[in-house]
Chain A
């Protein structure tokens, strides 16, 4: 069967052999005969098309008027409903104004302007004569500069040209400071109280019932000179679990307080706030890229693109019963960076 295949639907397989396409080709029959349109033959149809185009231009005029009606007669008050109405009127007015002109012109072109297709020859993009002339001109120019005969000039110019742009690069040095150890420290310090975000009121351990979660900032953050930058590193999620469900590793047993634990809210993937706490499963989910952290395993990554667990903030309680940090984070928070180590 394969030998007989020729590509028709009832047989599959290869049709052609190499070179077959070149053997014979159909003659190009030339442009199909022009078919006159209705408006070409019937004067009434032509008149009708003319009226349609004019009506479309009138639609455009009405659209512009509608725009001004919306602009001047709909006063913006403090409700969003009038804003919506005005936006709709201005938009529809503009839409009619534009579509009236556009559709009108295209309709005009399609029904009334000549629709004979015309053929034009293509030309060589570059003729050989032009190329030869250009080559001669370039050679003459190069010859007249004498750059080939004077390597001293050529080499010194090259050196100058390589060096000259360097200041243009280095002048951008002051775009920003060097990172230093800025990414390794946050606003947290030993004794800093945990406060509610955004009100800044400190949190008592007794306020945190089992199953609840708090969005936390360090107390006094609003006094910071670089509020947003500090907040971008210092935000913390505070949750209280049944102490038995927590499995602290050696050395971290006292980082929580009676089942209350605090973890950095900044995802270790690319830095989104890990804002979703699934109370039942004790999972934290980053809404940006779905990295999932297990609170019962010290926020180890159990799904998604993050690799490192969320850093834990060691906390305790002060004399007045308020939650406090016992130190800064023990490692940099947020996404990884080359110098992180």
Chain B
């Protein structure tokens, strides 16, 4: 931007102006202001979830840095002599002792620990909800497929950051969590035992796992998260934000508020709101009271233990998997030339298959959908979820699948809370694991179609006013108030994918995958509701009778 050969003759008058000009003429800030100062961002409340995620990550960095000044990631044995009387004289690791000190002896330490833990829970939640928003509105479509993948990796990293941090206080609860991880790793064929010994520096629990997790938690994972956030936001700027369809909004424009002042003020103010809400929660609600659990000891465990919420679904899958199915064990001893090896399918299947399905479908979905619909165009207008019933149904099906496993992680608490048999809860959840996603798919698809029909009805006949009028000849009618053109446009402006039967390729050959695509297309798009056309609206206004329109329409279709 700046040219060193031609010196500007601009002379600032105020002292602020002089400083600004000094910096600007050396770094080229004017160009940045020109480019971004009035850039347009569309506004919608659902666009805030990504912001919540970003802001809670910033709060995590701030509160986490504070904690590192007082926490010692050492598994060396020490005897506690801090302020918390019930644990005085107890042997424990430095990691646990310093975590207790942060809670009891550092002013504001407990508050910072709670801020850190609550914002971690919120971070993963915000990332998840943000991804659900992107999925259900179709924001992942071209050109944003790669940013969807970056987002998916960020979700996995958020969970990894959470889990590595969860273990750091070295308390009884998180120690049992690590032990479960160790058990799962040992089930990995061929290399599992070696990975376990390398990770723990020998036998579980060893003396190195906490410092190693600490390095991952405070250096490696946050660094990669920061890098990916930078890539994520860079792509958001490149693509410009999507917007919901509506009057004045097209696939070729962005309608919204300029960054300065409105958008910057709203987004900047929102950071303080997120911080304030996390602070209020941390003030009033205890999270992870490690002093109640005691130091890690391989022998005790408390009933009703739960991981942090985002690990729950994997833990739930571990609980749901039966060890024996119809008298057949799911752990096999396989005779090899060099001896007998053990394959623990009862651990491997629940640890890998559900996560594989969820993440596999999640990452691949943009390409699955465009393959299915043959829609390779750029999309900058979002879908209302009801206007893409097939996608909404798939998404709800996935959410149900996830939530069944999530519920399974609390199977013991459900049983004790509602006074039902623990075994029955598990049996029911096992059935729901398979049936739930199917029901979720069907119900969501039907609700979406029904909402589309309701939209059609309102677009064609107007809003029900509730006013009943009696006509001179005795008939009662309800007065419908027609919509204005802006409201109507919201209801009629969408695309409805139809069935695309299998087509022959250039050689006139219909491939097997193309046939499969045709069948899937029929399955997904057979039932659909098309948007109201101007002709239909015209007909609805001139004749009040529906069948006539349909007949006319049929004739029109035949004559074409």
Contact = CB atoms under 8 A, between A and B. Distances in A.
B342 A340 contact: yes
Interface string A81-119: 001001111111011111111111110111001110111
A7 B299 CA distance: 64
B273 A334 contact: no
A290 B412 contact: yes
Contacts of B266: 105-106, 109-110
B108 A109 contact: no
B269 to A, nearest CB: 3
B198 A175 contact: yes
A136 B340 CA distance: 60
Interface in A315-341: 334-341
A32 B529 contact: no
Given A113-B262, A117-B255, A98 B299 contact: no
B272 A101 contact: yes
Contacts of A229: 202-206
Contacts of B341: 338-341
Given A21-B496, A28-B489, A118 B256 contact: yes
B283 A92 contact: yes
A81 B404 CA distance: 39
Interface stretch (A8-16, A150-158, A159-167, A203-211): A8-16
Contact of B534 (A24, A104, A115): A24
Given A88-B283, A91-B279, A125-B239, A4 B347 contact: no
A94 to B, nearest CB: 4
A273 B298 CA distance: 7
A8 B535 CA distance: 16
Contacts of A192: none
Chain A interface size, as a band, is 35 or more
A113 B529 contact: no
Contacts of B350: 305
Contacts of B344: 307, 335-336
B261 interface: yes
B283 A95 contact: yes
Nearest to B204: A232
A118 B258 contact: yes
B268 A290 contact: no
Interface stretch (A138-146, A244-252, A263-271): A263-271
A104 to B, nearest CB: 7
A338 B280 contact: no
Given A15-B530, A21-B531, A86 B180 contact: no
Nearest to A265: B299
B528 interface: yes
Contacts, number: 395
A115 B330 contact: no
A37 interface: no
B248 A28 contact: yes
A125 B456 CA distance: 35
A28 B331 CA distance: 63
A15 B252 contact: no
A95 B279 CA distance: 5
A226 interface: yes
A176 B534 contact: no
Contact of B452 (A7, A109, A265, A336): A7
Given A94-B276, A308-B331, A335-B344, A272 B457 contact: no
Given A118-B40, A307-B324, A307-B346, A338 B318 contact: no
Interface residues of B, number: 148
A270 B318 contact: yes
B319 A119 contact: no
A195 B445 CA distance: 62
Contacts of A334: 183
B238 A125 contact: yes
B83 A178 contact: no
A147 interface: no
A13 B453 CA distance: 10
A338 B422 CA distance: 31
A6 interface: yes
A117 B318 contact: no
Nearest to A5: B550
Given A91-B284, A125-B238, A176-B201, A273 B299 contact: yes
A131 to B, nearest CB: 14
A103 B269 contact: yes
Given A21-B531, A125-B143, A273 B256 contact: no
Interface string A271-308: 11101100000000001111100000000010111111
Contacts of B315: 289
Contact of A307 (B240, B253, B257, B323): B323
A141 B135 CA distance: 40
Interface in B164-204: 176, 179-180, 182-184, 186-194, 196-204
Contact of A335 (B108, B186, B529): B186
Given A3-B550, A6-B549, A106-B273, A276 B262 contact: no
Contacts of A96: 276
A32 B490 CA distance: 12
A66 to B, nearest CB: 11
A-B complex: 6 closest residue pairs judged by Cβ atoms: A91-B283, A270-B183, A16-B530, A102-B272, A105-B269, A31-B248
Given A113-B265, A303-B426, 13 more contacts: A7-B530, A86-B107, A90-B283, A102-B269, A103-B272, A105-B265, A117-B256, A122-B251, A179-B196, A269-B346, A289-B318, A307-B324, A338-B341
11 contacts: A24-B535, A76-B107, A80-B84, A95-B277, A99-B272, A103-B273, A109-B266, A125-B378, A266-B298, A273-B299, A341-B339
Interface of A: 3-11, 13-21, 23-26, 28-32, 71, 76, 78, 80, 83, 86-92, 94-106, 108-110, 113-115, 117-122, 125, 172, 175-179, 182-183, 197-198, 215, 217, 226, 228-229, 231-233, 235, 265-267, 269-273, 275-276, 287-291, 301, 303-308, 334-341
